[in-house]
Structure 1
Amino acid sequence: MYQISELAAKVGLSRTAILYYEKQGLISGHRLENGYRVYSDNDLQRVRLIQRLQAGGLTLQECKVCLEAKVDKQLLRNRLKALDEEIARKQQSRLLLTAMLGEGDLKAWHQSLETVAPDAHLDWLIKQGFSEKEALRLRWLSKDMNEHDLYMADFMKVFETLERWGPGSEEDTRKALSLVPKAPRTILEVGCGKGLATTVLVEQSEAKITVIDNEQSALNQVIQRFKPEVISDRLETICASMTDLPFSNKSFDLIWAEGCAYIMGIEKALAEWKPVLREQGYLVISDMVWRTQTPSSEPIAFWKQAYPDIQCVQTRLKQMEKAGYQVIEHFPQSETARLNYYTPLSERVAELEPSMPSSAALKDIKHEVNVCTQFAEEFGYHMFILMKA
């Protein structure tokens, strides 16, 4: 016979737990004449059996059912399913923690956050010590904060000799500018890159032009494209973020943004850039869109990771009107614009592959080239000419 304290010590439970087991009818102690409660060896073994059953995820009530009748196999199957699901969640938790410690791949986690909480994701990256520029690059390029520096070093190596950092053509830029109903006096070009569109804006307008980019090396190349008198008289370069424009409201007649607004999100760009435009000012913006209602599985998988917010043209038009813009005109970017970018990029990848066989950045760029070549008719950049309503 065991007193309650003895039984509790043997099974590793508290006196309160033993009394609760007795109250639930799982064990049956009795009181001696001296007032002490005692339990039999049978009670000890039942408690140990219950503990084994609980280790399988059963509740006390379910343990009682198993003790008093034939085991309910469906109950066990349900518990097994729940346990498997819990193990899977725990395994995901472990993988995340090891990845955040630099011992695993964070790419899938960053991609999932970009889909469900893009703004919170960006804020969190900045709190981890990344500048906004690096955080944005991590979101769209490396997608792994542990490997970001190496990834970006390889990425920049690929693009350092290329003139274009995205699809485009002077012809498309001229066409879009010609569709702006009123000649602008002031233009803000967002995400100017190396200044290819800037050149057209300077040549085809008489406006004073301010260009911004968060990459100073790109702005340096913009400056090299023009004579000093153009820089001093008509063109100003500013290293700044498109997410926080350093200008007062109603500063520009026209905002020009080719192939860059996706970085902060089209809807966010439409809202946050609008105050900088003068009344009935214009916005020319381009964005990657679906050109078919039934895209193939491979480009769907690619853009789900590379640009989860890719939409069809009609969806973008509705978003633009909802944001307070009148759509003046829109047209698909030309095949020439695509080839201007992907042909030299493909050649550059082939050139570097022998010396960078294990580069994740080069592998991703090669995959993009292949998808955007093989399925070129299914998606592409689209130019939108808008007026602030």
Structure 2
Amino acid sequence: MYRISELAEKVGLSRSTLLYYEKVGLISAKRQANGYRSYSEQDLQRLKLLQQLQAGGLSLKECQSCLESRIDRGLLLQRLKVLDDEIAEKQQARELLSAMLGMSSMRDWHQTTEKQAPHAHLDWLMKQGFDEKQALRLKWLSKDMNEHELYMADFELIFDGLERLGPGTEVDSLTALKATLPSTDPLKAVLSSTESLKAEPFNSGELLEIGCGKGVATRVLALHSEFTITALDNDKSNLNSLNKNLDKALKQRVNTVCASMTELPFERDQFDVIWCEGGAYIMGVEQALKDWKPYIKAQGYLVLSDLVWSSDNPCDELRAFWLQEYPDMVSAKQRIEQAKQAGYELIDSFPLSEQAWSDYYAPLQGRVDELEAMMPNSKALADVKMELEIFHKRQGEFDYQMLVLKKM
């Protein structure tokens, strides 16, 4: 027989816990002549069995049920699932802590966070010491803060020497530029072919090109308009490439600015046209429609191109890929509706030509073929190869759509 203090010591429980167990009928004390409680060996064994059952995650009431009748298999299966879920959560927590300490990849975490809280994700990255340029590149390219530097070094090597950083052609740019002419302008009536578009410059005023990259579109705009052009990019090396490709006459009308598209360093109502080919996705097209509007003059234009679905039912592989790479991707119709909701009138909308795709992906494929043997373990090269594979399966299910919008 055991006194309550002895039983408590043997099972590692408090006196109050044993008294509660006695109250609910798990153990049963006998009163001695002196009034003290005493417990039997059976009570001790029952408590130890109870503790083993509790180790399986059962509640006290469930443990008591198991002690007093046959095991409820359905109950145990349910408890097993709960434990499996808890273990999985703990494993995820461990993997995240390990990744944050630099011991493994954070790619899955970055991708999930980007989908659920993109703005908070960017702010957090900048608090970790990344400047905005690097944080944006991490969000959209490397997706892993632990391997960002290596990824970007490989990425820049892949694109070294390539003219374009995304789909586009001179003809597509000129078609959009022509749409910014007033309908009463006599030039608009005659500028119907590529040759006539090249015949003489048109349009004047101030144009801001956001995300100009290496300046492929900048040069087209400068050659075929009389705009004073401000070419903005957050990558100084891109702006250096742009300046190298401009002759002396064009340099007089093109001013380069190294700054962020999310914080434009300009005056309100400063520009007749804001132009952005393929770059608005970086900050989010809906956000760009809203944030850039104050910098456009009344009745001025916003011209942008964006990746959109051209099929209502894209195949599962393409849908899964772009859901991962571009969660905000919508149809052209939805983008147009967003623009209207933001206070723009649609002037023109058209998908980029097939030539726009080949002018970008053909040189990129050649570059991948050239580097593949040298970079067998490169994640950047693997990502580019996957994008090329998706492009070859495109079959008209997605497009780049050019939108010409007028500020209302």
- Report the TM-score range of the alignment, normalised by the length of the smaller protein: over 0.9
Question: Is the contact made by 2:301 and 2:405 (CA closer than 8 Å) also made in structure 1?
Answer: yes
Report the counterpart of residue 195 of structure 1 in structure 2. Answer: 215
Question: What is the rounded CA distance, in whole Å, between the counterparts of 1:96 and 1:211 in structure 2?
Answer: 40
Matched, 1:99 2:79: no
Cα drift, residue 16 of structure 1: 2.1
Matched, 1:140 2:140: yes
Report the counterpart of residue 271 of structure 1 in structure 2. Answer: 290
Question: Is the contact made by 1:111 and 1:305 (CA closer than 8 Å) also made in structure 2?
Answer: yes
Question: What is the rounded CA distance, in whole Å, between the counterparts of 1:204 and 1:15 in structure 2?
Answer: 90
Q: Gapped runs of 5+ residues in structure 1?
A: none
Question: What is the rounded CA distance, in whole Å, between the counterparts of 1:317 and 1:170 in structure 2?
Answer: 23
Please tell me the residue identity of whatever aligns with 1:242: M
Question: Is the contact made by 1:210 and 1:235 (CA closer than 8 Å) also made in structure 2?
Answer: yes
Please show how residues 192-341 of structure 1 align to structure 2 within 5 Å: 192-231=212-251, 233-341=252-360
User: Which moved further from structure 2: 358-367 or 12-21?
Assistant: 12-21
User: Which moved further from structure 2: 33-42 or 90-99?
Assistant: 33-42
User: Which moved further from structure 2: 168-177 or 7-16?
Assistant: 7-16
RMSD: 1.4
Q: TM-score, normalised by structure 1?
A: 0.96
Cα drift, residue 284 of structure 1: 0.2
Report the counterpart of residue 52 of structure 1 in structure 2. Answer: 52
Cα drift, residue 184 of structure 1: 4.8
Question: What is the rounded CA distance, in whole Å, between the counterparts of 1:85 and 1:201 in structure 2?
Answer: 57
How many aligned positions are there?
A: 388
Please show how residues 373-384 of structure 1 align to structure 2 within 5 Å: 373-384=392-403
Report the counterpart of residue 186 of structure 1 in structure 2. Answer: 206
Cα drift, residue 79 of structure 1: 0.9
* Aligned CA distance change for structure 1 residues 61 and 82 (closer, same or farther; 3 Å): same
Question: What is the rounded CA distance, in whole Å, between the counterparts of 1:29 and 1:246 in structure 2?
Answer: 81
Please show how residues 356-375 of structure 1 align to structure 2 within 5 Å: 356-375=375-394
Question: What is the rounded CA distance, in whole Å, between the counterparts of 1:370 and 1:237 in structure 2?
Answer: 35
Question: Is the contact made by 1:167 and 1:340 (CA closer than 8 Å) also made in structure 2?
Answer: yes
Matched, 1:388 2:378: no
Question: Is the contact made by 2:223 and 2:250 (CA closer than 8 Å) also made in structure 1?
Answer: no
Please tell me the residue identity of whatever aligns with 2:247: K
Tell me the secondary structure at the aligned position of residue 64 of structure 1: helix
Question: What is the rounded CA distance, in whole Å, between the counterparts of 1:20 and 1:247 in structure 2?
Answer: 73
Report the counterpart of residue 160 of structure 1 in structure 2. Answer: 160
Report the counterpart of residue 63 of structure 2 in structure 1. Answer: 63
Question: Is the contact made by 1:191 and 1:242 (CA closer than 8 Å) also made in structure 2?
Answer: yes
Question: Is the contact made by 1:283 and 1:387 (CA closer than 8 Å) also made in structure 2?
Answer: yes
User: Which moved further from structure 2: 344-353 or 100-109?
Assistant: 100-109
Question: Is the contact made by 2:305 and 2:400 (CA closer than 8 Å) also made in structure 1?
Answer: yes
Question: Is the contact made by 2:209 and 2:274 (CA closer than 8 Å) also made in structure 1?
Answer: yes
Tell me the secondary structure at the aligned position of residue 226 of structure 2: coil
Cα drift, residue 345 of structure 1: 0.3
Question: What is the rounded CA distance, in whole Å, between the counterparts of 1:93 and 1:81 in structure 2?
Answer: 18
Report the counterpart of residue 78 of structure 1 in structure 2. Answer: 78
Tell me the secondary structure at the aligned position of residue 345 of structure 2: strand
Question: What is the rounded CA distance, in whole Å, between the counterparts of 2:332 and 2:217 in structure 1?
Answer: 23
Question: What is the rounded CA distance, in whole Å, between the counterparts of 2:131 and 2:35 in structure 1?
Answer: 72
User: Which moved further from structure 2: 31-40 or 113-122?
Assistant: 31-40
Please tell me the residue identity of whatever aligns with 2:299: Q
Question: What is the rounded CA distance, in whole Å, between the counterparts of 2:206 and 2:53 in structure 1?
Answer: 76
Q: Gapped runs of 5+ residues in structure 2?
A: 183-202
Tell me the secondary structure at the aligned position of residue 287 of structure 1: strand
Identity of aligned residues (%): 55
Provide Cα deviations, 1:346-387, integer angstroms capped at 9, x if missing partner.
000000011111111111111111211232421121100011
Report the counterpart of residue 186 of structure 2 in structure 1. Answer: none
Cα drift, residue 330 of structure 1: 0.3
Question: What is the rounded CA distance, in whole Å, between the counterparts of 1:281 and 1:25 in structure 2?
Answer: 82
Cα drift, residue 235 of structure 1: 1.5
Matched, 1:9 2:9: yes
Tell me the secondary structure at the aligned position of residue 240 of structure 2: helix
Question: Is the contact made by 1:169 and 1:336 (CA closer than 8 Å) also made in structure 2?
Answer: yes
Question: What is the rounded CA distance, in whole Å, between the counterparts of 2:172 and 2:357 in structure 1?
Answer: 11
Question: Is the contact made by 1:193 and 1:218 (CA closer than 8 Å) also made in structure 2?
Answer: yes
Question: Is the contact made by 1:184 and 1:254 (CA closer than 8 Å) also made in structure 2?
Answer: no
User: Which moved further from structure 2: 93-102 or 359-368?
Assistant: 93-102
Please tell me the residue identity of whatever aligns with 1:197: A
Report the counterpart of residue 29 of structure 1 in structure 2. Answer: 29
Question: What is the rounded CA distance, in whole Å, between the counterparts of 2:330 and 2:96 in structure 1?
Answer: 30
Cα drift, residue 179 of structure 1: 0.5
Q: TM-score, normalised by structure 2?
A: 0.92
